[in-house]
Amino acid sequence: MEMTVRPRRLRKNDTLRRMVRETRMDKSSLIYPIFVREGENMEEEIPSMEGQFRYSIDRLPYALEGLMKAGVDKVMFFGIPDEKDEVGSQAYAENGIVQRALREARKQFPEMYLLTDVCMCEYTSHGHCGVLCGHDVENDETLKLLAKTALSHVEAGADMVAPSDMMDGRVRAIREVLDANQHKDIPIMSYAVKYASAFYGPFREAAGSAPSFGDRKSYQMDFHNKREGLKEALLDVQEGADIIMVKPALSYLDVIHEVKNSINLPVAAYSVSGEYAMVKAGAKLGYIDEAKIICEMAVSTYRAGADIYLTYFAKELAGFMDEGR
Ligand code: PBG
Ligand code: ZN
């Protein structure tokens, strides 16, 4: 038999393989999630996330410097306050942990792009992502606090805000308050398609934000559903979101693909704490090659359609990108 089509021809050597690559990664699309805490001289390793730390504000500049050197110039802040209460008042406090971290980062690294996660769960005594009415999270009351939180982040220097609470109508509520306060140019990256996921386990340990009763299934999405994800994405487009996020990433590549093909906004994907922890644990046991797995996970996420990638591996990945891996 005469074979005229031989796909292996283009796989012959590295030069050829690189030339015909369909997915190319770029450091400018990376965002590094970073935890900030109260106290001094703290660089506290997170037990379930080896290699990730909770930084006190005085230590933060060292972490940011390392990122900048690696070519990662975008960070997303998560705050761990000392005090939590029913209404999460430290989330929108003038001198809250994220607000102070923003001012410090802005001062030390004016060229860095600063994003914030906007949610209540790290700040509420009950660990839910909003205010409670009995055992239910009260949607519309929560919107007011989320809007207040987003505004206080922007006033402290945030370049972009990213609501992760999954309340209905929060993008509109945040857009309205920003617009009313001369912040029409601040974009909103919505965690639009956020599933109720066991992959957030290590994060909740890191932030001490696990709900004290029940779960988040009455606001985060059921992972059996894809069309509902599209509904959430389209709603947030209508409400004025600038970027749509899908979260987690690894088990949700079909959702990323669907969202990318259905809307005309940039799509972000968040490789969450559980993804990081699994890779770290597997590598530590010697079962997988950490660097190769990081690259393969990243490429598959971009290949699925992500334009922006949030990952705890941002620094390592930036290095691998430099090597053209
Ligand atoms: C806050 C928030 C969470 C994550 C991002 N923002 C936790 C949660 O929803 O329980 C998870 C990030 C991760 O697991 O890396 N709502
Ligand atoms: Zn939350």
Q: What is the per-residue pLDDT for 70?
A: 98
The answer to whether 194 is a known catalytic residue is yes
**How long, in residues, is the chain?**
325
Out of 74, 84, 148, 247, which one is annotated catalytic?
247
d(CA 203, CA 129): 14
Q: What is the per-residue pLDDT for 131?
A: 97
Any domain includes 83: yes
231 confidence band (pLDDT: 50, 70, 90): very high
User: Residue 129 CA: which ligand 1 atom is closest?
Assistant: 16
Probe ligand 1: pick from 200, 217, 278, max atoms within 8 Å of CB? Answer: 200
Query: Could you tell me the distance, in angstroms and rounded to a whole number, from the CA of residue 8 to the centre of ligand 1?
Result: 43
Q: What is the per-residue pLDDT for 288?
A: 98
- The answer to whether the CB of 124 is under 6 A from ligand 1 is no
- For the chain, report the end-to-end CA distance as a whole number of angstroms: 37
Query: Could you tell me the distance, in angstroms and rounded to a whole number, from the CA of residue 167 to the centre of ligand 2?
Result: 10
1 confidence band (pLDDT: 50, 70, 90): confident
d(CA 156, CA 154): 5
Whether pLDDT at 25 is above 90 = yes
Any domain includes 280: yes
ipTM: 0.98
Whether pLDDT at 83 is above 90 = yes
| 197 alpha carbon, closest ligand | 1
Q: Tell me: the pLDDT tens digits for 125-157?
A: 999 999 999 999 999 999 999 999 999 999 999
For 224, other C-beta atoms within 10 Å of its C-beta total: 7
- Which CB contacts under 8 angstroms, 24+ apart, belong to 65-71? 65/109, 66/315, 67/32, 67/314, 67/315, 68/109, 68/112, 70/314, 70/315, 70/318, 70/319, 71/27, 71/318, 71/322
- The answer to whether the CB of 265 is under 6 A from ligand 1 is no
- The answer to whether the CB of 164 is under 6 A from ligand 1 is yes
- The answer to whether the CB of 204 is under 6 A from ligand 1 is yes
Any domain includes 45: yes
pTM score above 0.95:
yes
State which residues form the domain around 24.
17-322
Whether pLDDT at 24 is above 80 = yes
Any domain includes 175: yes
| Alpha-helical runs (H) found in the chain | 14-19, 60-70, 97-108, 139-155, 170-180, 201-207, 227-239, 253-262, 273-284, 290-304, 314-322
2 confidence band (pLDDT: 50, 70, 90): confident
The answer to whether 217 is a known catalytic residue is no
Query: Could you tell me the distance, in angstroms and rounded to a whole number, from the CA of residue 16 to the centre of ligand 2?
Result: 46
Token digits of residue 171: 């993008």
Any domain includes 214: yes
User: Residue 33 CA: which ligand 1 atom is closest?
Assistant: 15
User: Residue 199 CA: which ligand 1 atom is closest?
Assistant: 14
Q: What proportion of the chain, given as a percentage, has pLDDT over 70? A: 100
52 confidence band (pLDDT: 50, 70, 90): very high
| Mean pLDDT, range 204-231, rounded to an integer | 96
Structure letter (DSSP) for residue 82: S
- The answer to whether the CB of 200 is under 6 A from ligand 1 is yes
Any domain includes 11: no
Any domain includes 8: no
Q: What's the CATH number where 117 sits?
A: 3.20.20.70
Query: Could you tell me the distance, in angstroms and rounded to a whole number, from the CA of residue 164 to the centre of ligand 1?
Result: 7
Probe ligand 1: pick from 119, 193, 309, 313, max atoms within 8 Å of CB? Answer: 119
- The answer to whether the CB of 247 is under 6 A from ligand 1 is no
| Mean pLDDT, range 172-176, rounded to an integer | 98
Q: How many structural domains does the chain have? A: 1
Any domain includes 3: no
Q: What is the per-residue pLDDT for 77?
A: 98
| Mean pLDDT, range 106-115, rounded to an integer | 98
- The answer to whether the CB of 275 is under 6 A from ligand 1 is no
Chain position carrying tokens 């900030």:
36
| Mean pLDDT, range 187-216, rounded to an integer | 96
Query: Could you tell me the distance, in angstroms and rounded to a whole number, from the CA of residue 200 to the centre of ligand 1?
Result: 6
Out of 194, 260, 280, 315, which one is annotated catalytic?
194
Query: Could you tell me the distance, in angstroms and rounded to a whole number, from the CA of residue 124 to the centre of ligand 2?
Result: 9
- The answer to whether the CB of 91 is under 6 A from ligand 1 is no
